[in-house]
Amino acid sequence: MAGRGGYCVVAYCVDVSPSMGEAMADPDGTGIKRPKLAWVKEYVAREFEPKSGRKTDCIGLVTFGGNAPYQNVSVDVAIQTAKPAALETLMNTEQGDAEGNPILCALDAIQMHKHTKMWTLEIVLITDGESGFDQGEYEEAMETLDRLGVKLTVLGVGFDDPEDNVDKSKPKPKRLSEKFWRVFIRNLEEQISKSSTEEQFRPELKVFEPQLSQIRMPRPDVVNGTQVGTCLYIGAEPIDAEQAICIPLKYTKATAKARPPTLSKAWKTAVDLQQPAGTIPTHSEASQLLNTLQSQSQSQGGQANNLAALVSAEVKQHSTYFLKKPEPIKESGAGEAEGDDLPTIEEDEGEREYIPKEELVKAWRYGSSWIPVEDDTFEPLKTQKGVEVLGFIPQKNYMLIGEVRYLWPDLKSSKAQIQFSSFVSALVTTGMVAITRWVTKDGSPPEIGVCIPKQEFGDEKRLDLMYWIRLPFADDDHRFFFPSLTNYKSVSGNEITEHPYIPTQEQSDLMDELVKGLDLDSVTPEGATQQDDEDEDEDGEPILHSPWYDPAFSYNPAIHRTKQAILHASLTADTKADPLGPPHPELTKYFYTPEKLVEQTEKITERLKDALDIKKVTRVQRKKRQIDIDELFDNPGPGKTETVSPAKPKVAADVDKKPDFADDPDFILPPSADAKPKPGRLISNLRPLEDFKRVTASGDVFKKAIQDMGVVVEENVATSFSKQAFPDAIACLEEARSTALMYEETETIVKNLEKAVTDPSFKHKDFWKTFKAAGKKVAPISEEEAAAALEEEYD
């Protein structure tokens, strides 16, 4: 249950007697040993942390057992809000060499604080009970605690559980102290029960070590929200005042987004504090943060009692606007390097012209133009505070998540309660939710959300309320459509029953077994026993264990780890000698799969891998590309004879994957990896004919181009969709034959192509019929044709 959001006064009484200087091991079992007082300081500091920044949450610090003048008791921090100065005083608390009774002193400090009866008062006393004390004053303290309504909580360092007997092996003073506190708490509880039965006043005796471990755990900041009044409008009063209804409401937050610490305060270093007040430099673009720190240091220079104000300042956003002048165009000489014209940082700083914010005008971009708009051009939207009902939609249509608010009628108005209850009943009966327009205050931007009705029954009564949650914008509503996993059709419309994308019955059964084996509800949380018939309570009812995963205990690791680092830095004098430890196990417990699930699904996973043919993909190492310098500079050297081996045909899928827009003449394919020639080639697979003409026209590389054309034609035919690539292949062979009449190279291309196409493993064997039908245009070059072409060239 959420605690009260403030209105609490807690006075911490810390024992600093000599026995608190003894070393004690970390209760969490880390092996670290520190004095008892150090562990107590950590506990109190962690209690201060959630109270920081709350004006209605006050703390106080009383130490006893030191060398203070008033019966060895000292009020180190008077009742006040939690501030860094209070934490600093706590961490500077030193061990004493005396004894004392702090309860009366803490009660005096609480009485001096101005508060009302609405405030919750509490004293937390932390002691190891090894030092003697005068027990005569505690009877008076008992009466004062009852009269003021102050709750007392005693945390015993090294104490036994109150339900167990005191260990007889402990020193006599400690055994007597434990027995005294047990009797004192019991008698105090009996006295308080005569005047009040409320649980919040019940005194408690606890063991310190488990409480320290508990407070180290991540804790969400759960408090009761502040109630705010508003009105629910049904109908518009300006249009029809008689039909419009206005219901006074109260609302508060049900959930709120967890946010990290603001880190809005900066601290000056000791070197800055030693700087004389009159030597503060002034710069045109000096940091706003530095100026704030220096001005605060000067204005508060005489306040020696407020050291924290001297060295800290709030971090505020500061923007500097400047106009960067265009750089002059320089003509670089022939011997000048391209990087010589780069400006240095100093030159770039000098080219800036700083513009005051008052001279700036906001502009809106429209296409490639910027349209300046003055601030007073558009009149702000006039809105009225309240919740206006706009319409209704079925409740089952939406499942929303986000920050939720509670809505209930004004408890002081019977009419409002009747109207609100009728509205909620109507929504529940019809199964609808109300679309509303929420305006927090007059003139503020509106929010569109839904009011979801809720009725809770109990003790022959009914509680009517509503939840409000903001609706997402249209741009935030993304709908994704996926193809069917069971029905697969080809482009021609034929249904396919066997395909790698269609799971078999064996694969479906194995996947069902895997999903059932990974059910988290079957995992028993750590520390709980497996539920069976004997696991029942006193009434014979079965005990229901909490699930393994509980969203209430699923914390944000980034937020809580940041808080942990800040608290560690505030409690540690030297962070290098004592660095930040690992994250709390509660932050990382959901990072790992339960071992039980891993063990029971290991065999199923292996079987599923075999059924789905899942294999590990090895990373392909990119080969270094070799650059032909002669070819790069159009100065080819002596060519090397290259043996062109026929490429292996690629096995295409059995399903037609031709897109619907493939036959559209206006469709332009996007650039792909085949747009560039493969390493070692001059001809690409995407545009072989254009590349061949370009290469043969620009350089003396006919032989290499013809060889590459043969390989590319073979690959394109092998990967062709039906007969789509056949016409292009014939055109490429015609061009290669006409170019190779003088080189007698086409004969080799045709032989290699015939060998590949007639191979039994080749997909498109029918291409050879198309090749034969083309006739003489692609046939091998005869000796007569070669001789005739040679004679024509010499003529």
Contacts within 8 Å (CB) and 24+ apart, 334-341 = none
Q: Is 393 strand, coil or helix?
A: strand
Are the CB atoms for 126 and 15 separated by under 8 Å?
yes
CATH topology of domain 8-216: Rossmann fold (3.40.50)
Q: What angle do CA 556, 557, 563 make, to 5 degrees?
A: 95
Q: Which amino acid is at 512?
A: D
Q: Is 2 strand, coil or helix?
A: coil
Residues 6+ apart with CB under 8 A from 72: 64, 65, 66, 96, 98, 99, 100
Q: What angle do CA 471, 473, 479 make, to 5 degrees?
A: 100
Please report the DSSP string for 249-282 in residue order. Answer: EEEEES----------EEE--HHHHTS-GGG---
CA distance 607 to 508: 12
For residue 303, the model assigns a pLDDT of 44
Nearest Cα neighbor of 46 from 567, 557, 569 is 567
Burial of 762 (0-12, 13-18, 19+ CB in 10 A): middle
Are the CB atoms for 100 and 71 separated by under 8 Å?
yes
Domain boundaries, the chain: 8-216, 265-277+288-314, 386-476, 482-527+535-547+594-618, 551-590, 646-794
Q: Is 781 strand, coil or helix?
A: coil
Looking at the DSSP bridge assignments, the partners of residue 363 are 372
Are the CB atoms for 768 and 758 separated by under 8 Å?
yes
Structure-block tokens of residue 151: 């709750």
CA distance 121 to 115: 10
CA distance 146 to 142: 6
What sections of 500-627 are H helices per DSSP? 505-517, 557-571, 585-588, 595-600, 602-612
- The two beta strands, 495-496 and 488-489, are antiparallel
Q: State the DSSP code for 458.
A: E
Are the CB atoms for 614 and 500 separated by under 8 Å?
no
Are the CB atoms for 536 and 633 separated by under 8 Å?
no
CA-CA-CA-CA torsion sign (677, 682, 687, 688): negative
CA distance 408 to 463: 9
CA distance 253 to 451: 14
Q: Is 318 strand, coil or helix?
A: coil
Residues 6+ apart with CB under 8 A from 461: none
Q: Which amino acid is at 353?
A: E
Q: Is 15 strand, coil or helix?
A: strand
Are the CB atoms for 434 and 450 separated by under 8 Å?
yes
> Fold match between 8-216 and 386-476?
no
For residue 38, the model assigns a pLDDT of 92
User: Which residues of the chain register pLDDT less than 50?
Assistant: 1-3, 5, 70, 269-289, 293, 296-310, 332-347, 530-534, 637-645, 647, 649-662, 664-671, 673
**How many other β-carbons are positioned within 10 Å of the β-carbon of residue 601?**
18
CA distance 170 to 177: 11
CA distance to 457, 672, 680, 687, per residue, from 625 (Å): 76, 19, 9, 22
CA distance 254 to 250: 13
Q: What angle do CA 272, 274, 280 make, to 5 degrees?
A: 60
Looking at the DSSP bridge assignments, the partners of residue 711 are none
CATH topology of domain 386-476: Ku70; Chain: A; Domain 2 (2.40.290)
Nearest Cα neighbor of 560 from 113, 261, 197, 174 is 261
Side by side, the strands of the sheet bearing 120-127 are 73-81, 57-64, 8-15, 120-127, 150-156, 204-207
Nearest Cα neighbor of 628 from 680, 576, 701 is 680
CA distance 265 to 360: 29
Helix axes 138-148 and 103-112, enclosed angle (nearest 10):
30
Residue in the block written with tokens 């220079």: 301
CA distance 111 to 133: 24
Task: Give the start-end residues of each E strand in 332-378.
Answer: 352-354, 363-366, 369-372
CA distance 727 to 770: 9
For residue 757, the model assigns a pLDDT of 83
Nearest Cα neighbor of 384 from 448, 439, 305 is 439
